[in-house]
Structure 1
Amino acid sequence: MMLSPEQIIRINQKIRLRRVKYNDICAEMTDHIACKIEAELKNEIDFERLLHKTMMEVNPRKFQRNLLIQANLNAVKEFFGNIGDLRLVVKSIAMTFIIGSFINLFSKNTPEFAETALKSAFSIAYFLGFILILWANKYIRNSRLLTTGTVFFFIATFSQFFLKLERLAWTGASNHQLLFFMTACFSFILCSGYANLFRQFKKLKTA
């Protein structure tokens, strides 16, 4: 038996009461629960009983948590999968040479200052992306957009910690070479992170 629009709304309301925050997860869960109820529904009187039963079986908070875990794994896979995107790699290389030419002015005499300048510029660039996500999530509340932004933020943050001249000194490379390598890594992180963010915005726009 097919559910009425009013019954669909009722399912959605019950899900919202269980602290399911994201619109896309709420829509997916509403469809999932509606299908389970329709498979068993014989008459209008059974609806509330089946709704209560199905909500207990599905557990909306656990359902949301599982989808968020999967979304984060997909976001990480998509982020590093961009290594195979030729157009994005070309952009990263171009950015590396442009930024590297400025960093080169300071790297010979003041490598520490060059490292600080590089990381400061990089921090500002990815922090703007994080602010964009916070603003968008306030209005859109889409789990895939949020996880894409979160993965971008954490990879960018951890790269700042691991990519340091002193940590890379064991390679025996010169400060100039190490700074160029760091610039290449940061450039790829920025290009990959923003490419994924804009891809998610485009999907939301066409949905």
Structure 2
Amino acid sequence: MTLSPNQVSKISQKISSSQVYYTDIRAELTDHIACKIEAELQKAEDFENLLQKSFAEVNPKKFQQSLLIQAHLNSLKAFLGNLGDLRIMVKTILMTFVIGSFINLFSKNTPEFAETVLKTAFLIACCSSFILVLLGNKYYGNSRLLTAANVLFLLASLSQFFLRLEWLNWTGATHQQLLFSLSACFSFILCSGYTNIYRQFKKLKHA
């Protein structure tokens, strides 16, 4: 038995009050519970009782948590998958050349300062992704868009900690070579991360 628009609205309202924060997860949970209720209504059970029963069986918070974990894993998989994307790799190489050449201008005498400048500029660029997603955007409540930005910020933060000149001296490379390598890593993180965010925007606009 198909639910009426009023009944679907009641499900949606109940989900909205159950601390499910993301619009796409609310829609998916609404559809999930509606399907459960429709199957049971064929047995002539009361809608209100079935609604309470369905919410008891499907914990909205756990449902949301499960989808968020999966969204982060999918976003990370897409991020790493960009290593095989020729266009992204070309952009990474071009960005590395531009940034690396600029950093190389003053890296010979002050490599530590050059590293600080590089990392600061990189972190600012990554933080801008949150501003892009959260401010002035009607899709800010979409979990897949937010997880794409979150993965970019997480990887940017980890790279800031682990990619250090002093920790890479064991390679025997010069400071200039190491800074170019750091520029390449940071450039790929930016290109791959922003590509994933753009892809999510595109999907939402055509949904």
TM-score (norm 2): 0.96
Match of 2:54 in 1: 54
Does the residue aligned with 1:18 lie in a helix, a strand or coil?
A: coil
How many residue pairs align between the two structures? 207
1:19, 1:44 → 2: CA distance?
30
CA RMSD in angstroms comes to 1.5
**Matches of residues 36-115 of structure 1 in structure 2 within 5 Å?**
36-42=36-42, 46-115=46-115
Q: Percent identity?
A: 66
| Residue 42 of structure 2 corresponds to residue 8 of structure 1 | no
Q: Alignment partner of 1:106: what SS?
A: coil
Unmatched 5+ stretches in structure 2: none
CA contact (8 A) 1:21 1:141 kept: yes
Could you tell me how far 1:43 is from its partner in structure 2? Answer: 7.9
For 2:124, the equivalent position in structure 1 comes to 124
Quote the offset at 1:16 in angstroms: 1.0
CA distance in 2, matches of 1:48, 1:84: 51
User: 1-side partners of 2:130 and 2:140: how far apart?
Assistant: 15
Measure the CA separation in 2 of the matches of 1:72 and 1:14: 26
CA distance in 2, matches of 1:171, 1:138: 47
Larger relative helix fraction: 1
Give the distance between the partners of 1:138 and 1:202, measured in 2 at CA: 13
What is the deviation of 1:138?
A: 7.4
Give ranges in structure 1 of 5+ residues lacking alignment. Answer: none
Quick one: which amino acid aligns to residue 176 of structure 2?
H
- Pair 1:94–1:156, CA change in 2 (3 A): same
* Counterpart AA for 1:61: K
CA contact (8 A) 2:134 2:140 kept: no
**Alpha-carbon offset, residue 130 of structure 1:** 1.9
Mapped contact 1:137–1:146 kept (Cα < 8 A): no
1-structure distance, mates of 2:176, 2:139 = 44
Kindly indicate whether the alpha-carbon contact (under 8 Å) linking 1:107 and 1:114 is maintained by their aligned counterparts in 2: yes
Once the two structures are TM-superposed, the CA of residue 137 in structure 1 deviates from its matched residue by 6.9
